[in-house]
Amino acid sequence: MFETLKNAWKIPDLRKKIIFTLMMMLVYRLGAVIPVPGIDRSVIDSMFSGGTGGLLDFFDLMSGGAFKDFTIFALNIYPYITSSIILQLLSIAIPKLEEIFKREDGKKKMAQWTRYITVVLALIQATAYSVGFFNSAIIDQSFLSIMTVIIVLTAGTAFLMWLGELITEKGVGNGISLIIFTGIISRYPVDVGTVVYKLGAGSVNIIEVLLFLVFAFVIVVGVIAIQQGERKVPVQYAKRVVGRKMYGGQSTHIPMKVLMAGVMPVIFSSTLLAIPQTLAFFFPGMAEGVQKYFSVAGSPGVYIYTILNILLIIFFTYFYTAVQFNPFEYSNTLKENGGFIPGIRPGRSTAEYLNKVLNRITIAGAIALAVIATIPTLIFSFTNLQINFGGTSLLIVVGVALETMKQIEAQMLMRHYKGFLK
């Protein structure tokens, strides 16, 4: 990884992209400490220390502390992720919508609709915070003051959405994921300091810390293993004569990733499981019930949350893989170019074979991803080690880091080929 970054830094164009990405991440962190006007901080602090912390911890962790401090980026980028999920699910349920998104300008139109839905969802969520759960923290209860808080929170999410798209377009790519990544790792120094303090005070056992380090190592190794794992399906191209020259005849393979979806299923699952907690902000009386039944801090909530998390991760792994890889389209492309899988007939048989292989490796990747995301959550819920950067957050951090490095490597490869062809 460090060698790749070192080589990328030597390429002027890539160096500019890396510097631009780092500057945008710095802008995000600066915005994450700008407070929303008209808020009583002492009331917010009492909410987090008054027993509802388990309900709010996820939001605070993913926003890099912006939620707990109730800053302009308190909503973070999650309305955008939710709107992406909604549109992708609707495109499958509504054939007409799928047809629109498959047109030449389909991606552009989908991005535009995602932005609109994001603003609407952010407006709803900001209203839930201002009128519901955090209403007592607003100093001036006038309509204008509440509207100011709602508009500031909505604008913060819209700005983050623009920032993420800017990183994707002008930076190293993967903008939205990098914002989540930055938010999570920004909390690591604070959390490490807290663990060290508790260890010194004797409130945390050294065995529990070692247990966490072991599982952190297992998570990192596990994510790298399933992210890098692939099934190589052999492909042979038939020989054909064009004029006096003979083309084709070479052997290659289709690299089918064990986990084509990356860490997106974990992000999607976490976002959807946060919906009951978001609804609790509309109705503060629901907070206790939601924490008990739909939060890892509650009992039997930890078991319900875990089961739902596993099912959603498996579902979104299949869903995201189906969006990325279509066996029938791939088989048609192979057939048109004179390619075939040895022992398999071109056309429908090839598509069925690819679909069979895809299903087998996807279920293995989905189960592995669900296990890696879930086991640490269960272990931490039965120990006194209150570490926020558990299974889900570590999984996201490692996954996003791997995906970003792959994008940098791909851009380096493209530039080296360009230089060679010159």
pLDDT digits (tens, 9 = 90+) for 241-265: 566 665 556 777 888 888 888 778 8
The CA-CA-CA angle for residues 411, 362, 101, to 5°, reads 60
Query: What is the per-residue pLDDT for 87?
Result: 86
Q: Are 303 and 310 in contact (CB under 8 A)?
A: no
SS3 302: helix
Do 36 and 71 touch, CB atoms closer than 8 A?
yes
54-58, 155-159, 167-171, 388-392: which is most confident: 155-159
* pLDDT for res 417: 46
How deeply is 384 buried, as exposed, middle or buried, from its count of CB atoms within 10 A (0-12, 13-18, 19+)? Answer: exposed
399 vs 155, residue with greater confidence? 155
How much is the pLDDT for 281? 65
Instruction: Return the top range by mean pLDDT from 59-63, 223-227, 379-383, 410-414.
Output: 223-227
Q: Given pLDDT bands bounded at 50, 70 and 90, which one contains residue 53?
A: very low
Reported pTM: 0.77
Least confident of 16-25, 182-191, 213-222, 239-248: 239-248
Choose between 294 and 113: higher pLDDT. 113
Per this entry, what is the length of the chain? 422
Q: How far apart are CA 306 and CA 166, in angstroms?
A: 35
Mean pLDDT value across residues 161-185: 88
pLDDT score of 361 more than 80? yes
Least confident of 13-27, 238-252, 338-352: 238-252
pLDDT at 181 over 70: yes
Query: Above 50 in pLDDT, residue 422?
Result: no
Higher pLDDT, 248 or 232: 232
**Alpha carbons 417 and 422: distance in angstroms, whole number:** 9
420 falls in which pLDDT band (50, 70, 90)? very low
Task: Please give the residue that has the higher pLDDT: either 162 or 180.
Answer: 162
What confidence category does residue 162 fall into, taking pLDDT thresholds of 50, 70 and 90?
Answer: very high
Structure confidence by residue, pLDDT tens digits, 194-222: 778 877 777 777 877 787 788 778 878 88
Instruction: Annotate 126-165 with b (16+ C-beta within 10 A) or e (fewer).
Output: bbbbbebbbbebbeeeeeebbebbbebbbebbbebbebbb
Q: How confident is the model at residue 298 (pLDDT cuts 50, 70, 90)?
A: low
Superfamily name and number for 1-186: SecY subunit domain (1.10.3370.10)
**Residue 117 reports pLDDT greater than 90:** yes
Tell me where in the chain the CATH 1.10.3370.10 domain(s) lie: 1-186, 200-389
The rounded percent of the chain whose pLDDT value lies above 90 is 10
* Mean model confidence pLDDT for the chain: 80
- The pLDDT confidence band at residue 51, using thresholds 50, 70 and 90, is very low
Residue type, 22: L
Return the H-helix or E-strand segment holding 233: strand 230-237
- Taking 70 as the threshold, does the pLDDT of residue 272 lie above it? yes
What's residue 119's pLDDT?
A: 93
Task: Say which CATH class 200-389 falls into.
Answer: mainly alpha
Three-state secondary-structure class, residue 262: coil
Mean pLDDT across 375-395: 63
Is residue 421 predicted with pLDDT exceeding 70?
Answer: no
Is the separation of the CB atoms in 56 and 48 below 8 Å?
Answer: yes
User: Which pLDDT does position 175 carry in this prediction?
Assistant: 87
Give the pLDDT of residue 105.
79
pLDDT confidence of residue 400? 85
pLDDT, position 271: 77
At residue 248, the pLDDT reads 58
pLDDT for 418 beyond 50: no
Question: Is residue 416's pLDDT more than 50?
Answer: yes
pLDDT at 161 over 90: yes
Question: Mean per-residue pLDDT for 1-18?
Answer: 81
**Does the structure show a pLDDT above 70 at 394?**
yes
Q: Alpha-carbon distance 237 to 106, whole Å?
A: 32
